[in-house]
Structure formats: C-alpha cells, structure tokens
Amino acid sequence: MYELFFQNFNTKVALTKEEETLIKNYLIPKKLRKKQYLLQENEVCKSYAFIEKGALRAYSVDDSGNEHIIQFGIEGWIVSDLYSFLTGEPATYNIDALEDSELVLISKTAHEELLQKLPKYETFTRLNITGAYIAMQKRLTSIISSPLEERYTNFTKAYPEIIQRVPQHMIASYMGLTPETLSRIRKRISAK
Amino acid sequence: MKTKKTIAIIGATGNMGSAISKSLSKGNYRLLLKANEEDKLDVLVKEIESIQTKAEVGVAVCPAEAGWEADIIILALPFGAEKEVAKKIKEVANQKIVISISNPLNETFDGLVTASDTSAAEELQKLLPNSKVIKAFNTTFAADFSSPVIDGKQVDAFIAGNDEEALQTVSELVTTAGFNPIVAGDLSISRTLESMQLLLIQLGIKYNYNWLAGWKILHN
C-alpha cells in the first residue's frame, strides 16, 4: 500500500524502521477509479497525493470550457494543486484519474505535523518542491521559447511512458496545441 | 464545485444501514455499499437507483476494499460486530473518518454492555487509533430517516468526536440526511449519547412510540 512511497522517500533520505512507522500513522491510503476526481476546482486542496499505481492529470478549464492539462502524474510522482495546498486558497486545478489508481494522501495537517516532528520529512518535502520547481521552469522555458517539434521530441524523450499511456488529445492539450496540430507535428517528425 | 466524496457503508442492508444509504444518496456523494447478504444488497442498490436517478452507488466486495476507496466509512453495524470489521479496515481507514452509529445495548434492552467510563465509540477509537472516529446517527431510529420531521419539528442528531474538521464533514452528512446536526462535544460525550438512546428505546417500548421518535432540544 505504501511500498513505492517509502522506496521513493528512502532514495531521497534514508529512514529508520521507527521513522517509517511514525510517518505511516499519518498517511491516507486511497483508491481512485478511472475518471474519479481527487480534487475539483474552487475547493481547497487539503492534501497532496503520491501515486503508488495508476495515472492522473491536473487541468484547468478556461472561460470557454476548454480543458488545459497542466500536469500528468504516474507511479512515483506527486500530484496536487500546490498553490491551493500551500496557501489555503481555492484550487484552480481539477485533478482526476486517467486509470484506476492507488494513492497515498498526505493532508495539510499531517504535512505540518510531520514537518515539525521529523527533519527528514522536511528534507523530503524540500527535494519534492525543488524537483517540482525545476520541472516547472523547464516546462515554462520550453513553452515560450522552443520550436514545436523540439518540444514534442523532448517530451517523448523525457516521458516515454506517458506517451504510451495517455491519449494523444491529452498530450496535445498539455502542449497547448489542438490535436490536429500535434498530429501534423508527429507526421513531420516521422517523415524525417 | 465540491469534490465528490466516497462514503463506504458497511452493513448497508440492515435497518439503519439501508436507511442511511437511501438518505445519503440525495447528496453529492458516491456510495459504496457492503453487506453480507448480497441479494438484499442488489435490491437496495436498485431501489436507490430508482429513487435517485443521479445517485452514484456501487457495491464493494469486502470491507477493506470499501474502506480503501472511501473518504468516509460508516459502520452501520451492531456494537458486537464492530470489533471484527475494525480489524479488517484498520489499515485502509488510516486518518479517515469512521462513523460509529451503534448503541451497546444488552439483550434485554435495559442497560448498556459497556462500562460507565467508556462508550462504543471510544472502544472503536481504541481499535482504530489512527482514524477519526465520530459518533453520529445513534440517537435516530431507522424510521426517522424517511420522516426526519416529527410532529412538525426537525429531529436533532447529535455528533461527537475529537477532530474539528471531521465533525464539520459529518455535520454536512447529517444535514443531507434531513436532520438538524448538533455537535455535542468530544468523543467521550458518546457515553451520554448512547445512554440517551437507551432511554429513548425504553420509553418507546413503554409508551409504544412505534420506533418513530427522536430528540429535539427546545431553546430560545
């Protein structure tokens, strides 16, 4: 139920058995079926989710009702509306399951208590947030300055598993393209 | 939009379990029902789907599976059965709300089997130390759910527990079910709440209230 979570934790910072037990007391095991929501827009994001199994996406909806995918998540990743989680303001993202998923949730209350109690949890959090920041900077730079073909090629190289598991129209949404444009780009790449 | 919460109701085909399931199907919840009698459970699911066409209701194969998918777990079970189910859900109920509805009555309905310094809810909390045990729906009879207004007054439903946020969430459930929620205090108040229902049962038998009775606090 928490295997991957602790495996991931231990690669970032090694825990003793006692520390694992202490952390376990705070974790919420949660199964989510395909298409079910973990979070809906305008609700405060009260926990973040580590993915033990499955795939999720976070997306926002614009005024015309179009979905824009912000982030995908698969095994070993964390998904949340970090802005809402940290500030307590209503979420701007929706998060739902693309496959039947098994999650480990950490509530805001648990998060804050663990930060107080366990310096190793603080390290774990710092590394997670640093990682998220780096990913976001890369994504931002790529969106504003890389040519489309290069963006798609980089994405397929960085996340081959997501390409396998997620439908093309969602990849297009993630890249800010229409499915037709993405399809043209893919044709151009394969023709090379 | 509020994220739809999943509520597991274990013991869904009992008098209380089916009453709670039907009344909560009115709300923005996904219900996951579990009961030993599968035939009865199928009938209940069909009944709920026919009353509430928009209801999202499913059936779980075992208490642990139900609890794993759930955000809130309702043990619609007699006191005697709670212990065994608590063992099965302990791991998946970690940090989740678990609602105890039971009244630990003795066989002759004239006393409680729990000692005076504890309650069914507190005993459940001991079995599930990392869960947020909340006492609710123990002062309401099953029949009250279809008539939460008796003699022109909305029946009060008392809630007790130690976690503020969980009390708030359960208050919303109680409101969805049609009752007036009153947070009575921490989990130890369950002793009083369970004794209150003992009294109501005794009075019901004595004066023939026909199991449609409830508590209402009159105040200005």
pLDDT at site B216: 96
The verdict on A16 and A90 lying in the same domain is yes
Mean pLDDT (chain B) is 96
Minimum Cα–Cα distance from B165: chain A residue: A109
8 A C-beta contact, residue A44 and residue A87: no
A89 and A165 both lie in a single domain: no
Give Cα A190 distance to the centre of its chain: 29
Sequence-separated (6 or more) residues with CB below 8 Å from residue B75: B10, B11, B82, B85, B86, B98, B99, B100, B101, B102, B124
State whether A186 and A117 are in the same domain.
no
User: Residue B53: CA atoms inside 13 Å, Cβ hemisphere, count?
Assistant: 0
Is residue A18 over pLDDT 80? yes
Q: Nearest CA to A57 among A25, A76, A88, A80? A: A80
Is A174:A181 a contact under the CB 8 Å cutoff?
no
Could you report the predicted ipTM of this complex, rounded to two decimals?
0.90
pTM: 0.94
Chain A within 8 Å of B218 (Cβ-Cβ)? no
From CA B196, how far away is CA B214, in angstroms rounded?
Answer: 10
Is residue A105 very low, low, confident or very high in pLDDT (cuts 50, 70, 90)?
very high
Domain limits for position A152: 147-192
Domain check: are A64 and A99 in the same one?
Answer: yes
Indicate whether A125 pLDDT > 80.
yes
Chain B residues with beta carbon closer than 8 angstroms to that of A41: 1
Chain A residues lying within 8 Å of B165, measured CB to CB? 109
B3 and A38 within 8 Å at the Cβ level: the answer is: yes
- Per DSSP, what are the bridge partners of residue B182? B158
Instruction: Look at phi and psi of residue B4 and say left if phi exceeds 0, alpha if psi is from -120 to 50, else beta.
Output: beta
Q: What is the pLDDT of residues B89-122, one digit of tens each?
A: 999 999 999 999 999 999 999 999 999 999 999 9
Q: Is the pLDDT of residue B85 over 70?
A: yes
Mean pLDDT for A13-37 is 97
Under 8 Å between Cβ of B138 and B101:
yes
> E-strand spans in B120-213?
132-135, 149-150, 153-154, 156-161, 180-185
Minimum mean pLDDT range among A188-192, B7-11, B148-152: A188-192
- For the domain that residue A43 is a member of, what is the CATH number? 2.60.120.10
Same domain? For A175 and A129 the reply is no
Q: How near does any CA of chain A get to the CA of B186, in Å? A: 19
The predicted model gives B212-217 an average pLDDT of 95
Total number of domains constituting chain A: 2
- In angstroms, the separation between the Cα of residue B166 and the nearest Cα of chain A is 12
Q: Is B61 on the interface with A (CB under 8 A)?
A: no
Q: Are residues A72 and A155 in the same domain?
A: no
Interface residue B30 vs chain A (CB under 8 A) = yes
State which amino acid sits at residue B103.
N
Q: State the average pLDDT over residues A14-23.
A: 97
Tell me what pLDDT residue B51 has: 92
CB A26 within 8 A of CB A63: no
Does B172 lie at the interface with A, CB-CB under 8 angstroms? no
What amino acid is encoded at B169 in this protein? T
Q: Which residue has the tokens 């009698």?
A: B37
Question: Looking at the structure, do residues A14 and A26 belong to the same domain, yes or no?
Answer: yes
Q: Is A5 helix (H, G, I), strand (E, B) or coil?
A: helix
User: In this complex, is the C-beta atom of A33 within 8 Å of any C-beta atom belonging to chain B?
Assistant: yes
Is the pLDDT at B1 greater than 80? The verdict is: no
Ordered by where they begin, the domains of chain B are 5-207 (3.40.50.720)
**Which H/E stretch holds residue B102?**
none
List of chain B residues whose C-beta atoms are within 8 Å of the C-beta of residue A31: 65, 68-69
| Residue A74 to residue A72: CA distance in whole angstroms | 7
User: Residues of A with CB below 8 A from B172's CB?
Assistant: none
Rounded Cα gap, residues B176 and B166, in angstroms: 15
* From B30, B69, B130, residue closest to A31, measured CB to CB: B69
A32 shares contact with chain B (CB less than 8 Å): yes
Residue A99: its pLDDT value, please?
97
Half-sphere exposure of A129 (CA within 13 A, CB side): 12
Two structure tokens written together for B171 = 């208050």
Q: What is the distance between the alpha carbons of residues B183 and B167, in angstroms, rounded to a whole number?
A: 7
Is the pLDDT at A192 greater than 90? The verdict is no
Cα B25 vs. chain centroid, distance in angstroms?
A: 14
Task: Work out the minimum CA distance from A106 to partner chain B, whole angstroms.
Answer: 9
Cβ-based neighbours of B131, under 8 Å, separated by 6 or more: B73, B93, B94, B95, B96, B97, B98, B125
Asked if A39's CB is within 8 angstroms of B3's CB, the reply is yes
pLDDT tens, position by position, B173-199: 999 999 999 999 999 999 999 999 999
Q: What percent of chain B has pLDDT over 90?
A: 96
Q: Tell me: do A72 and A100 sit in the same domain.
A: yes
Rounded distance between C-alpha atoms, residue A148 and residue B168, angstroms: 49
Question: Among A22, A36, A80, which would you mutate to test the B interface (most chain B Cβ atoms within 10 Å of its Cβ)?
Answer: A36
> Mean pLDDT throughout B76-98?
97
Q: Which residues lie below 8 Å from residue B216, measured CB to CB, with a gap of 6+?
A: B153, B154, B155, B156
CB contact under 8 A, A27 and B95: yes
- For chain A, first and last CA: distance in Å? 45
- Mean pLDDT value of segment A20-48: 96
Chain B residue closest in CA terms to A39 = B3
Instruction: Examine the pLDDT at B210 and tell me if it is beyond 90.
Output: no
Q: Which residues in chain A are closer than 8 Å to B30, comparing Cβ atoms?
A: 36
* 3-state per-residue secondary structure call for A78-134: EECCHHHHHHCCECCCEEEECCCEEEEEEEHHHHHHHHHHCHHHHHHHHHHHHHHHH
DSSP type of residue B105: B
Q: Do both A107 and A179 map to the same domain?
A: no
**Contacting residues of B for A32, CB less than 8 Å apart:** 69
Looking at the fold, whether A51 and A95 belong to one and the same domain comes out as yes
Which residues does chain B have within 8 Å of residue A39's beta carbon, measured at their own beta carbons? 3
Cβ partners under 8 Å of residue A93, min gap 6: A39, A41, A45, A58, A59, A60, A70, A81, A84
A131 and A49 in a common domain: yes
A119-145 and A108-117 helices, crossing angle to 10°: 120
| A28 to B30: CB separation less than 8 angstroms, yes or no | no
Within this chain, do residues A67 and A162 fall inside the same structural domain, yes or no?
no
Q: Are A1 and B30 in contact (CB < 8 Å)?
A: no
Residues of B within 8 A of A109 (CB-CB) are 165
Per the CB < 8 Å rule, is B69 touching A38?
no
